[in-house]
Amino acid sequence: MNLYRYRSMDSQNLSRTFTHCELYFTEPGKFNDPFDCKPPFSINNYSENDLREHFKKAFLSICPEISNSKLETLVEKNAHAILNDHRLFQPKIIDPFVSTVSEVNATLGVLCLSEKPDDILMWSHYTNGHRGLVLQFDKLALENNGFDCKQVDYKNNTITLKDINQNLNIENALELANLILWKKSEHWDYEKEWRIVVDTSLRTDISNCRIYIFPKEALTGVILGCEMTPEDKYLVRMWLKEGGHRARIFNATKDTSTYSIKINPPLGDYSN
């Protein structure tokens, strides 16, 4: 299976993607969608037992030596406070959890890919009006080198208190990220997005660096935009040559009879 990355020619350090096999992983929350990596919370879908479980875990994480009687008193006090005034759900549960997630996000990096190489909206949005390119990566080659590719969930589902409870005491940043980084609104379903998420704090070479090296064999093709200039096409060919890549070069062209893009030569069944 192939995955595709849309890029404009003025993307930062694009040349080094070819010459040095470098990919930059963006910090979560810095995307154009304000809900990306910040999905909404359900403020009604919870039970009294969910509240008790939440506060029990929360207080034990803060003070593991707390006595059972003291713990029970605090749990019941906070649970009943929210049951009596649902407006307290935001400051007592959501805000502290969002604060924790924000701290986690600061160490993570996200790389966005797609199943589709010929979507005219993505070509328009992410390649500077079809003047850029699309990189074709072999999914298996990426995964064999430690880059786990995972599909984005577009079910438009919100985060519930049960979700928070299941992730409350997780210390591993990537595990906690599972709750938020692969959820997007169904409005974005047409992108058929996959993501690779990395924890920069685990690096042993360069601390918290967001640039990662991908295996040369993973880059299997480059699709040149239908509005790309001859000068930029020449640049891309030179970068490929300098990097020693064997990636095939394809050309995106406008279909004269429909609102669609054709890839020449054909890529084959890239949806599998």
User: Residue 173 pLDDT > 70, yes or no?
Assistant: no
CA dist 115 → 4, 31, 147, 165, 241 (Å): 6, 19, 16, 33, 26
Task: Please report the pLDDT score of residue 272 as a whole number.
Answer: 30
Instruction: Judge whether 252 and 120 are in contact, CB under 8 Å.
Output: no
As a whole number of angstroms, the distance between CA 93 and CA 18 comes to 45
As a whole number of angstroms, the distance between CA 74 and CA 131 comes to 60
User: For residues 26, 32, 35 and 36, what is the CA-based torsion angle, rounded to 10 degrees?
Assistant: -30
pLDDT band of 130, cuts 50, 70, 90 = very high
Mode of pairing for the β-strands spanning 133-138 and 211-213: unpaired
Residue with tokens 């058929």: 192
Helix (H, G, I), strand (E, B) or coil at 174: helix
Task: Please report the pLDDT score of residue 269 as a whole number.
Answer: 43
User: Residue 10 pLDDT > 70, yes or no?
Assistant: yes
Task: Please report the pLDDT score of residue 196 as a whole number.
Answer: 96
Task: Please report the pLDDT score of residue 36 as a whole number.
Answer: 84
Percent of the chain exceeding pLDDT 90 equals 62
Please give the distance of CA 159 from its chain centroid, rounded to a whole number.
17
Q: What is the pLDDT averaged over residues 89-94?
A: 90
Task: Please report the pLDDT score of residue 172 as a whole number.
Answer: 64
Which residue would you say has higher pLDDT here, 155 or 140?
A: 140
> Strands across the sheet with 248-254, in order?
149-151, 193-199, 108-114, 2-7, 133-138, 219-224, 248-254, 261-264
Task: Please report the pLDDT score of residue 78 as a whole number.
Answer: 94
Q: Where are the domains of the chain?
A: 2-38+109-264, 48-105
pLDDT band of 100, cuts 50, 70, 90 = confident
- Comparing 4-8, 71-75, 197-201, 203-207, which segment has the lowest mean pLDDT? 203-207
User: Residue 270 pLDDT > 50, yes or no?
Assistant: no
Task: Please report the pLDDT score of residue 91 as a whole number.
Answer: 93
Backbone angles phi, psi at 4, to 5 degrees: -125, 145
Percent of the chain exceeding pLDDT 70 equals 95
Q: Which helix (H) or strand (E) holds 48?
A: helix 48-62
Q: Which helix (H) or strand (E) holds 241?
A: helix 230-243
pLDDT averaged over the chain? 90
- 224: which strand partners? 133, 251
In the chain, how many H helices and how many E strands? Answer: 10, 10
User: Residue 170 pLDDT > 70, yes or no?
Assistant: no
Which residue would you say has higher pLDDT here, 99 or 219?
A: 219
User: Residue 9 pLDDT > 60, yes or no?
Assistant: yes
Instruction: Judge whether 247 and 239 are in contact, CB under 8 Å.
Output: no
Q: How open is the CA angle 204-37-15, to the nearest 5 degrees?
A: 55
pLDDT band of 164, cuts 50, 70, 90 = confident
Which residue would you say has higher pLDDT here, 140 or 43?
A: 140
Which residue would you say has higher pLDDT here, 74 or 272?
A: 74
Residue with tokens 């879908």: 45
Rg of the chain, C-alpha, whole Å = 23
| Dihedral angle sign, alpha carbons of residues 144, 180, 124, 266 | positive
- Comparing 12-21, 29-38, 220-229, which segment has the lowest mean pLDDT? 29-38
As a whole number of angstroms, the distance between CA 157 and CA 169 comes to 22
Q: What is the pLDDT averaged over residues 240-266?
A: 93
Q: What is the pLDDT averaged over residues 166-191?
A: 79
Task: Please report the pLDDT score of residue 96 as a whole number.
Answer: 85
Instruction: Judge whether 33 and 126 are in contact, CB under 8 Å.
Output: no
As a whole number of angstroms, the distance between CA 157 and CA 153 comes to 9
User: Residue 183 pLDDT > 90, yes or no?
Assistant: no
Q: What is the pLDDT averaged over residues 15-36?
A: 90
